Amino acid sequence: MTRSLFSSLLIALSLLLATLTWSACTQGTAEPLPADPAVAVDDSAEPIEPRIRGTIRPASADDATLSSVDLPPLTGTETATLTFAPEVPAPITRSHASRVVVDMEVTEAVKELADGVQYTFWTFGGEAPGPMIRVREGDLVEFNLHNQHGNDVPHNIDLHAVTGTGGGAEASLVSPGKSASFEFRAIKPGLYVYHCATAPVGLHIANGMYGLILVQPKDGLPTVDREYYVMQSEFYTIGKHMESGLQPFSMDKALAETPDYVVFNGGVGALMDDGALQGAVGETVRLYVGNAGPNLTSSFHVIGEMFDKVYAEGGTALAQENVQTTLIPAGGSTIVDFELDVPGTYKLVDHAIFRAVNKGAIGLLEAVGPANEAIYTEQKSLTDYRGTESTATPAASGE
Query: What binding mask, one character per residue, do residues 33-72 give for Cu ion by CB under 5 A, x or -?
Result: ----------------------------------------
Question: Which of these ranges, 15-23, 196-204, 292-300, 307-315, lies near Cu ion under the rule CB under 5 A?
Answer: 196-204
Query: What binding mask, one character per residue, do residues 139-158 give for Cu ion by CB under 5 A, x or -?
Result: ----------------x---
Q: 154 burial class (0-12, 13-18, 19+ CB within 10 angstroms)?
A: buried
Question: Which of these ranges, 189-197, 268-276, 357-365, 373-381, lies near Cu ion under the rule CB under 5 A?
Answer: 189-197
Q: How many CA atoms lie within 13 A of 180 on its CB side?
A: 16
Comparing CB distances to Cu ion, the nearer of 200 and 239 is 200
- Cβ pair 169, 197 in contact under 8 A: yes
Measured from the CB of residue 218, what is the shortest distance to Cu ion in angstroms? 32
Among 204, 253, 301, 355, binds Cu ion (CB under 5 A): 204
Among 157, 171, 196, 348, binds Cu ion (CB under 5 A): 196
Question: Which of these ranges, 15-23, 203-211, 280-288, 315-323, lies near Cu ion under the rule CB under 5 A?
Answer: 203-211
Measured from the CB of residue 106, what is the shortest distance to Cu ion in angstroms? 7
Measured from the CB of residue 184, what is the shortest distance to Cu ion in angstroms? 19
Under rule CB under 5 A, which residues in 208-267 are in contact with Cu ion?
209
- Cβ pair 139, 98 in contact under 8 A: yes
Question: Which of these ranges, 48-56, 134-142, 207-215, 363-371, lies near Cu ion under the rule CB under 5 A?
Answer: 207-215
Determine the size of the site formed for Cu ion (CB under 5 A): 5
Residue 229 φ then ψ, to 5°:
-115, 115
DSSP 308-347: EEEEGGG-SS--EEEESEEEE-TTEEEEEEEE--S-EEEE
Residues 6+ apart with CB under 8 A from 265: 85, 86, 129, 229, 230, 231, 271, 275, 363
Among 198, 291, 295, 298, binds Cu ion (CB under 5 A): 198
- Cβ pair 211, 124 in contact under 8 A: yes
Question: Which of these ranges, 42-50, 191-199, 282-290, 374-382, lies near Cu ion under the rule CB under 5 A?
Answer: 191-199
Identify the DSSP state of 200: S
- Report the residue number whose CB is nearest to Cu ion: 196
Query: What binding mask, one character per residue, do residues 289-318 give for Cu ion by CB under 5 A, x or -?
Result: ------------------------------
Q: In 3D, which of 313, 285, 310 has the Cα closest to residue 298?
A: 313
Taking the C-alpha atoms of residue 307 and residue 142, their distance in angstroms, rounded to an integer, is 35
Measured from the CB of residue 148, what is the shortest distance to Cu ion in angstroms? 12
Residues 6+ apart with CB under 8 A from 266: 85, 111, 121, 127, 128, 129, 208, 231, 233
Comparing CB distances to Cu ion, the nearer of 155 and 355 is 155
- Three-state secondary-structure class, residue 120: strand
Residue 157 φ then ψ, to 5°:
-140, 135
Total residues found in the chain within this entry: 399
Comparing CB distances to Cu ion, the nearer of 25 and 371 is 25
Measured from the CB of residue 296, what is the shortest distance to Cu ion in angstroms? 20
Comparing CB distances to Cu ion, the nearer of 295 and 326 is 295
Comparing CB distances to Cu ion, the nearer of 209 and 348 is 209
Measured from the CB of residue 201, what is the shortest distance to Cu ion in angstroms? 8
Is 195 a residue that touches Cu ion (CB under 5 A)?
no
Neighbours of 292 (CB within 10 A): 29
Comparing CB distances to Cu ion, the nearer of 206 and 209 is 209
- Three-state secondary-structure class, residue 380: coil
Q: In 3D, which of 77, 80, 79, 72 has the Cα closest to residue 96?
A: 72
Measured from the CB of residue 153, what is the shortest distance to Cu ion in angstroms? 7
Q: How many CA atoms lie within 13 A of 363 on its CB side?
A: 28
Question: Which of these ranges, 15-23, 198-206, 232-240, 294-302, lies near Cu ion under the rule CB under 5 A?
Answer: 198-206
Taking the C-alpha atoms of residue 143 and residue 398, their distance in angstroms, rounded to an integer, is 82
Contacts with Cu ion by CB under 5 A lie at 155, 196, 198, 204, 209
